């Protein structure tokens, strides 16, 4: 359906990715009488980050203690596993090792372990090379963190279950319907919508409250409401390879590197998916379009906006070496294979088939710094999710709760939900 059934709602959520759906679901759970609409521009829900991720239910090891990521991920991991059990969604508890491949990485591995403990991650163990060989016989490494409860799921199935919950609670979800404008007058917000389903239509609806969860477009949505433009989304494309079916047995669960704390991504790794396939990667290169999943997908307007922004220029000047290496790996398979061989020496280019790709939405602040934590901002009668990278899928149920808690502080929800 591409057209809302009504012209007025109590609450509208933009974006039917896992964060938008989790938020709408939580609002309806707490306020069953609220008239809620979720608006999604694509034909199907979960079409972007939510439908292109690795499906890992992270445990919360990596994140700074006290950060929103740490708080929502540790609790989100527990809640996601409970929710999937309740809904009959398959989860596999494969477990994950984070491996140090040389002495230089040991202090960072130790710090990471301490972080995991400080965050309250259950079951973490520091293991030596011998135990690592028992868990992942083909992995290289001199020491590792073993996280036995790291699991995998298909987040598209989770998103579909959230959507089902929303509809069952009386909420409405429209697809092929794009938010084009936000106008705020007194206590009412007017939203311009464009329905791309033929016959196309344009129209307006009003709402008391608005939540935007636009992923790769989250800055544009927030700018529609207030053009502060102090935050910009940088789309980072990550390409994966898939291990040939006869080589999948090289990986039992997940094999991850010790991340470099200067960068927001975890580095190339191996992940056994819920389907049994094994993904290797991803790299991290600038995507030439916000939703540019292939090397040849270019949106010149979007690319120009990124390349000419002062914040991006600052970022590029700082990380040009790393960026150039990632670009090189993007085009030269042997360089990518070399990066993977550090963690699995016996892997060769012949073992790898081209795999899927994903684009990660990463917020960049005006000062040229990548925003590390989740960023959820309040406006008058509005909340904008401005940075929700990994582990937002894992943490989605708790992020939804956090958003409703924030709304309760400033929105008169009881007054409208009658």
List residues binding ligand FAD (CB under 6 A). 14-20, 39-42, 47-50, 52-56, 58, 178-179, 213-217, 221, 238, 282, 358-360, 388-394
- Which of residues 344 and 392 has its CB atom nearest to ligand FAD in the complex? 392
- Which of residues 16 and 413 has its CB atom nearest to ligand FAD in the complex? 16
Torsion angle defined by CA atoms of residues 389, 282, 52 and 304, in that order, rounded to the nearest 10 degrees: 70
> Which residue in the block uniquely carries the two structure tokens 């016959």?
199
DSSP-assigned beta bridge partners for residue 125: 146
- Which of residues 143 and 343 has its CB atom nearest to ligand FAD in the complex? 343
Pairing status of strand 143-147 against strand 125-128: antiparallel
Q: How far is the CB of 259 from ligand FAD (least distance, A)?
A: 14
User: Which parts of 55-187 are beta strand (E)?
Assistant: 56-57, 96-100, 125-128, 143-147, 151-152, 172-174, 177-185
- Which of residues 19 and 315 has its CB atom nearest to ligand FAD in the complex? 19
| Six-digit token string for 398 | 């708790």
Residue nearest to ligand FAD (CB): 17
Q: How far is the CB of 59 from ligand FAD (least distance, A)?
A: 11
Q: How far is the CB of 349 from ligand FAD (least distance, A)?
A: 22
Q: How far is the CB of 316 from ligand FAD (least distance, A)?
A: 21
- Which of residues 116 and 358 has its CB atom nearest to ligand FAD in the complex? 358
DSSP summary character for residue 369? P
Q: How far is the CB of 214 from ligand FAD (least distance, A)?
A: 4
- Which of residues 216 and 340 has its CB atom nearest to ligand FAD in the complex? 216
Residue 125 CA: distances (Å) to CA of 378, 397, 401: 39, 27, 30
Query: What end-to-end distance do the CA atoms of the chain give, in Å?
Result: 26
Measured CA to CA, the distance from residue 284 to residue 280 in angstroms comes to: 13
- Which of residues 257 and 358 has its CB atom nearest to ligand FAD in the complex? 358
| Six-digit token string for 403 | 């958003």
Q: How far is the CB of 62 from ligand FAD (least distance, A)?
A: 11
Pairing status of strand 56-57 against strand 151-152: antiparallel
Measured CA to CA, the distance from residue 412 to residue 418 in angstroms comes to: 11
Q: How far is the CB of 364 from ligand FAD (least distance, A)?
A: 16
- Which of residues 68 and 417 has its CB atom nearest to ligand FAD in the complex? 68
DSSP summary character for residue 250? G
Q: How far is the CB of 221 from ligand FAD (least distance, A)?
A: 6
DSSP assignment of 68-131 equals: HHHHHHHHHHHHHHHHHHHHT---B---EEEEE-SGGGHHHHHHHHHHHHHHT-TT-EEEEHHH
| DSSP element (H, E) containing 272 | strand 269-272
């Amino acid at each position: 359906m591409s057209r809302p059934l009504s012209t007025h709602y109590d609450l509208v959520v933009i974006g039917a990715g896992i964060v938008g759906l989790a938020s709408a679901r939580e609002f309806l759970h707490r306020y069953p009488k609220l008239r809620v609409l979720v608006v999604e521009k694509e034909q199907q829900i979960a079409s972007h980050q939510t439908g292109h991720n690795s499906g890992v239910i992270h445990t919360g090891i990596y994140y700074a203690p006290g950060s929103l990521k740490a708080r929502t991920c540790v609790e989100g991991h527990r809640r996601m596993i409970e929710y999937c059990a309740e809904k009959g969604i398959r989860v596999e508890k494969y477990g994950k090792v984070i491996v140090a491949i040389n002495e230089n990485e040991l202090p960072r591995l130790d710090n990471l372990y301490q972080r995991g403990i400080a965050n309250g991650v259950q079951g973490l163990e520091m293991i030596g090379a011998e135990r690592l060989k028992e868990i992942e016989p083909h992995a290289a490494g001199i020491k590792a963190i073993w996280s036995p409860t790291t699991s995998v799921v298909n987040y598209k199935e989770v998103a579909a279950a959230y959507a089902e919950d929303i509809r069952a609670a009386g909420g409405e979800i429209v697809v092929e319907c794009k938010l084009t404008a936000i106008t705020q007058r007194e206590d009412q917000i007017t939203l311009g919508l464009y329905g791309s389903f033929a016959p196309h239509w344009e129209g307006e609806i009003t709402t008391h409250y608005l939540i935007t969860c636009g992923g790769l477009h989250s800055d544009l949505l927030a700018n529609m409401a207030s053009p502060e433009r102090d935050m910009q989304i940088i789309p980072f494309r990550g390409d994966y390879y898939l291990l040939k079916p006869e080589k999948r047995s090289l990986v039992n669960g997940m094999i991850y590197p010790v991340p470099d704390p200067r960068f927001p991504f975890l580095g190339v790794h191996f992940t056994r998916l819920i389907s049994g396939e094994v993904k290797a990667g991803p790299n991290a290169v600038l995507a030439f379009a916000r939703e540019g999943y292939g090397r040849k997908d270019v949106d010149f307007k979007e690319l120009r906006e990124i390349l000419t922004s002062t914040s991006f220029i600052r970022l590029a000047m700082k990380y040009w070496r790393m960026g150039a290496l990632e670009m090189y790996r993007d085009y030269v398979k042997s360089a990518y294979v070399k990066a993977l061989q550090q963690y699995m020496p016996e892997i060769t280019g012949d073992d790898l088939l081209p795999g899927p790709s994903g684009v990660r939405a990463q917020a960049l602040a005006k000062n040229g710094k990548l925003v590390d934590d989740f960023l959820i901002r309040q406006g008058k009668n509005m909340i904008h999710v401005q940075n929700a990278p990994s582990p937002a899928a894992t943490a989605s149920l708790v992020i939804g709760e956090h958003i409703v808690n924030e709304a309760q502080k400033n929105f008169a929800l009881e007054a409208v939900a009658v």
